[in-house]
Amino acid sequence: MPRPLLLSLALAITPALFSTACAADPADPAAEAAIKPAQWPFAATEVARFNEPWAMTFLPDGSLLVTEKAGKLLHVDPASGKRSEISGVPTVAYGGQGGFGDVLAHPQFTNNGWVYYSYAEDGQDDTRGAAVARARLVLAADGSGQLSDAQVIWRQTPKVSGRGHYGHRLAFGPDGKLWISSSERQKFDPAQDMKTNLGKIIRLNDDGSVPADNPFVAQGAPADQVWSLGHRSVLGIAFDGNGKLWEHEMGPKGGDELNLIQRGGNYGYPIVSNGDHYDGRPIPDHDTRPDFIAPVVTWRQVISPAGFVIYNGALFPQWKGSGFIGGLSSQSLVRVAFDGDTAHEAERFDMGKRIREVEQGPDGALWLLEDGNNARLLKLTPKAG
Ligand SMILES: [Ca+2]
Ligand SMILES: [Ca+2]
């Protein structure tokens, strides 16, 4: 695809052309080139609306669970859009970026009924941290349901002040383990501190215990939970068809990332980033410290990534193996094409709204959740003709 080369050239040339005439950042060519609705290869159908939805997941029967940040878990009929509330949810620390987070069914949900969910939890003295729990979901004939036998199986430690950068995205790997993104709570240095589990990718057994083959088990808790470190704000983790784990990361100013996660890897934040601090202080770029793992893709003109699925459906055969990332500030859906251990942005769709979450439905449709109040749940299917 020619776009990455054109993008690089445009970025290299534009500041020289405009440096005396214009102090603002040059226009973002990738955003300029974003595909407008008339040219979309898909139709987008509104199915339902939510207030501040954060995550969704499909159950094996094809129905949908959706979280709302203020603390609701909803069971949704994707055909009618009918929403039914699930009872037994935890009290969440709602505010800032915090509240109800992700939701995910156990790979053997049909047999064991376990669903896993994450949320921001209050601590002592005006502190907060992410928690992950599992509970058995019992659904009623009318679509409502309840969580029972809830167990908190993981917590961010320590709990700290503030209401940002919880992360708490969940995924089950092909190894049957539970993977959690634990962001650095906007505290920077904990991402490098193995006495905390902030700024890390976490790998646990499905009951929350620590797998004996994790890379840092010899260091004891909480390092024994850690698979990789040096992460900032991770709102999307996904396994590809080869079992590799990819994550995207909302970077500091001008430094959004797509990373290929390696066992025991250190991704360098806050010591290095291709972006810089929002207060203007520079952060050395990745090429100054080859001992840290560099991102596969850096967006210097940021997309603000949230939600991530690597597509393997049949409805859009041309997109099999592509990654789809929701864009908050970029109000877009970004398609990433992979080639082994490399990747690039292949195209971007202008959605006109902040996109919070991306999912693949059982029939291969792509599903999006917009961000904020009165946000739409959209089903994307191939455009007829
Ligand atoms: Ca999801
Ligand atoms: Ca930098």
Residue 377 has pLDDT above 90, yes or no: yes
| Residue 42 included in any domain | yes
Q: How confident is the model at residue 15 (pLDDT cuts 50, 70, 90)?
A: very low
Name the residues around ion ligand 2, CB cutoff 5 A.
276, 283, 285
Q: How far is CA 130 from the centre of its chain?
A: 15
CA of 254 to the centre of ligand 2 (A): 8
| Residue 294 included in any domain | yes
CA of 164 to the centre of ligand 1 (A): 20
| Residue 349 included in any domain | yes
Q: Is 248 a catalytic residue?
A: no
Residue 385's pLDDT is 62
Question: Is there a contact between 230 and 255 (Cβ–Cβ < 8 Å)?
Answer: no
CA of 75 to the centre of ligand 1 (A): 14
Residue 242's pLDDT is 97
| Residue 2 included in any domain | no
Summarize pLDDT for 125-180 with one digit per residue, the tens.
Answer: 999 999 999 999 999 999 999 999 999 999 999 999 999 999 999 999 999 999 99
How many structural domains compose the chain? 1
Give pTM, 2 decimals. Answer: 0.93
The CATH number for 373's domain is 2.120.10.30
Q: Which ligand is nearest to the CA of 58?
A: 1
| Residue 18 included in any domain | no
| Residue 16 included in any domain | no
| Residue 19 included in any domain | no
Q: How confident is the model at residue 27 (pLDDT cuts 50, 70, 90)?
A: confident
169 CB-near residues (< 8 Å, 6+ apart): 55, 101, 102, 118, 180, 181, 234, 235, 236, 237, 308
Cα 278 to Cα 254: distance, rounded to the nearest angstrom = 9
Token pair recorded at residue 327: 């864009």
Summarize pLDDT for 31-56 with one digit per residue, the tens.
Answer: 999 999 999 999 999 999 999 999 99
Q: What is the mean pLDDT of the chain?
A: 94
Cα 377 to Cα 337: distance, rounded to the nearest angstrom = 25
CA of 86 to the centre of ligand 1 (A): 17
Q: Where are the alpha helices (DSSP H) in 68-198?
A: 109-112
| Residue 22 included in any domain | no
Q: How confident is the model at residue 1 (pLDDT cuts 50, 70, 90)?
A: very low
Q: Which ligand is nearest to the CA of 268?
A: 2
Out of 75, 165, 248, 286, pick the active-site residue: 165
**Cα-Cα-Cα-Cα dihedral sign, residues 309, 312, 316, 317:** positive
Q: Which ligand is nearest to the CA of 118?
A: 1
Cα 378 to Cα 358: distance, rounded to the nearest angstrom = 10
CA of 314 to the centre of ligand 2 (A): 40
CA of 281 to the centre of ligand 2 (A): 9
Name the residues around ion ligand 1, CB cutoff 5 A.
57, 359
CA of 57 to the centre of ligand 1 (A): 4
149 CB-near residues (< 8 Å, 6+ apart): 135, 136
Q: Which residues span the domain enclosing 313?
A: 34-382
CA of 328 to the centre of ligand 2 (A): 22
DSSP state of 142: T
Q: How confident is the model at residue 255 (pLDDT cuts 50, 70, 90)?
A: very high
